[in-house]
């Protein structure tokens, strides 16, 4: 990340042009954090979960919204967890409705096909996946960097509302002047079912700088991760 300084030396603007080395480092740490989440979700559901290779990119909110609709007509169901502390940002999961109902049936021990709409208990089960995702990502990050951050209680919403909240948060708090979010994304697939979940981690640009700083301080930058 390049920083532009004022004459007095105060950082006034973070331009989001990461070096290849920094980008690789961030990609590695976020991908490993995502792997730890995939493992714990797999344990919870009792099904093997496959995770696509995580992609890290700068993404406009329009693009994010397009992806989160999962290219289907029916809005997907989103679970968001806010990270606060040394690391700020969001962890978000998006379930196409069919995937959501399948995951709910797995978690509640129902026969496949039982759920056809979102009940309070089903929503609570999806939220628990969001809770685990946020907590285990931050657990991993704490182990790797000694940075401490806490997840908020998970919130369930339609994908459009989640995207609006993300945009509002990043628009309001990010001092970088960048109108794009740094997004790590992957797809979690359940081996026994043809259902997918989109899993996103969206740290603020300031938090990315904090992570890079912590990795450099701990000497973990040299091997590209932990």
Among residue numbers 98 through 117, which ones bind other proteins (CB under 8 A)?
Answer: 107-108
And the tokens for 74?
A: 């029916």
Buried b (16+ CB within 10 A) or exposed e, 164-178: ebbbebbeeebebeb
Q: Give the range of 139-147, 180-188, 196-204, 214-222 binding other proteins by CB under 8 A.
A: 139-147
Does 195 interact with other proteins (rule: CB under 8 A)? no
CA distances for 66 relative to 72, 102, 141, 214, angstroms: 10, 23, 29, 33
Contacting residue, 5, 12, 112, 153, with other proteins by CB under 8 A: 153
Does 131 interact with other proteins (rule: CB under 8 A)? yes
Contacting residue, 139, 164, 167, 189, with other proteins by CB under 8 A: 139
Among residue numbers 34 through 53, which ones bind other proteins (CB under 8 A)?
Answer: 40, 43-44
- Report, in Å, the least distance between residue 182 CB and other proteins: 23
Residue ranges of the alpha helices (H) in the chain?
A: 20-45, 61-68, 97-108, 120-145, 159-173, 205-218
CB 156 within 8 A of CB 77: yes
For residue 87, the 8-state DSSP code is S
Among residue numbers 7 through 36, which ones bind other proteins (CB under 8 A)?
Answer: none
And the tokens for 4?
A: 């532009």
Query: Residue 131 or residue 210: which is nearer to other proteins going by CB?
Result: 131
Q: Give the range of 14-22, 145-153, 186-194, 204-212 binding other proteins by CB under 8 A.
A: 145-153
CB 144 within 8 A of CB 226: yes
Does 118 interact with other proteins (rule: CB under 8 A)? no
Query: Interface residues with other proteins (CB under 8 A)?
Result: 40, 43-44, 107-108, 120-121, 124-125, 127-128, 131-132, 134-136, 138-139, 142-143, 148, 150-153
């Amino acid at each position: 990340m390049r920083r532009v300084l004022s004459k007095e030396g105060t950082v006034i603007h973070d331009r989001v042009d990461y070096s290849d080395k920094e980008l690789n480092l961030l990609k590695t740490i976020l991908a490993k954090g995502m792997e730890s989440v995939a493992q714990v979700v797999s344990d919870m559901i009792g099904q093997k979960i496959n995770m696509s290779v995580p992609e890290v990119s700068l993404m406009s909110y329009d693009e994010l919204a397009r992806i989160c609709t999962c290219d289907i007509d029916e809005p997907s169901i989103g679970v968001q967890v806010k990270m606060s502390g040394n690391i700020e940002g969001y962890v978000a999961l998006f379930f196409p409705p069919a995937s959501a109902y399948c995951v709910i049936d797995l978690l509640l021990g129902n026969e496949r096909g039982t759920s056809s709409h979102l009940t309070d208990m089903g929503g609570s089960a999806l939220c628990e996946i969001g809770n685990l995702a946020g907590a285990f990502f931050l657990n991993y990050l704490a182990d790797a960097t000694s940075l401490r951050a806490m997840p908020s209680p998970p919130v369930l919403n339609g994908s459009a509302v989640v995207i609006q909240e993300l945009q509002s948060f990043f628009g309001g708090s990010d001092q970088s002047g960048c109108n794009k979010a740094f997004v790590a994304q992957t797809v979690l697939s359940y081996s026994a079912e043809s259902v997918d979940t989109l899993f996103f981690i969206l740290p603020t640009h300031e938090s990315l700088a904090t992570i890079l700083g912590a990795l450099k301080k701990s000497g973990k930058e040299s091997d590209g991760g932990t």
